[in-house]
Amino acid sequence: MNNNQKILMKVRGYFDKFIQAERYVCSVILIIVTLITFVQVVMRFVFDAPFSWSEEVTLMFLVWFGYLCMAIDIYTDDHAALYFLYNRLSPTLRKAADLFRHGLLVWFFAEMIKYGWMLTKLNLPKPQPATRLSQGWLYAPLVVGGALMLVYSLVNFVSTVLKPRSEYQRDADRPKTIDEVTVERGGTV
């Protein structure tokens, strides 16, 4: 393991801790959304007195939840892939495909930040009807989540650059587990 890989491992260690905190935040958001929705249903159907603000707050939390969870999946590289095709490529083509994929994601998330910022600025002065909170809070996750995904994609891109071709060869040569074959064929574990 060379010096660059050691530095990358240390950087990934810090990001792993940050991802744990991000997962905690996502868990709290999901609990809040569930509680608000449950209370809203009880208020509507039992007491016939629903809250006017619950849909707006739930929507805002769900948007934040979604973008934070997407960022976690980008970092862990757990998003959907065409494994049946990818696993048939040579180690050199696998590395090239990974570099292309991570590079494309970096570009996409940079664009997402740019246009998300434009949408956020445009909607900041507009209040939501019930809560009077700024509508910018609905678009801010594009910027925050996009920034997280951009950084994580850059880390994955650098990891791919530093990953030796021999590791791709070792991955291609090792026998697959039943779970890996199932995922390759389009199933889930």
- Note whether 149 and 105 are within 8 A (CB): yes
| The pair of three-digit structure tokens given for residue 41, joined into one six-digit string | 């249903």
- E-assigned strand segments in the chain: none
Q: Is 137 within a domain?
A: yes
3-state helix, strand, coil in the chain (%, to 5): 75, 0, 20
Q: Is 37 within a domain?
A: yes
Q: What is the pLDDT of residues 59-85, one digit of tens each?
A: 999 999 999 999 999 999 877 677 778
Q: What is the pLDDT of residues 106-142, one digit of tens each?
A: 999 999 999 999 999 999 999 999 999 999 999 999 9
Give the DSSP letter of residue 55.
H
Give the whole-angstrom CA distance, residue 41 versus residue 35.
10
| Interacting residues of 176 by C-beta distance below 8 A, sequence separation 6+ | 184
Indicate if the pLDDT at residue 170 is higher than 70.
yes
Q: Is 158 within a domain?
A: yes
Q: Is 56 within a domain?
A: yes
Q: What is the mean pLDDT of residues 87-93?
A: 86
- Note whether 86 and 97 are within 8 A (CB): yes
Q: Is 97 within a domain?
A: yes
Q: Angle formed by the axes of helices 91-123 and 165-173, to 10°?
A: 110
Give the whole-angstrom CA distance, residue 185 versus residue 65.
30
Residue located via tokens 């868990």: 27
Q: Is 94 within a domain?
A: yes
> How many distinct structural domains can be found in the chain?
1
Q: Is 189 within a domain?
A: no
Q: Is 58 within a domain?
A: yes
Print the domain residue range for 139. Answer: 3-184
| The pair of three-digit structure tokens given for residue 11, joined into one six-digit string | 């950087």
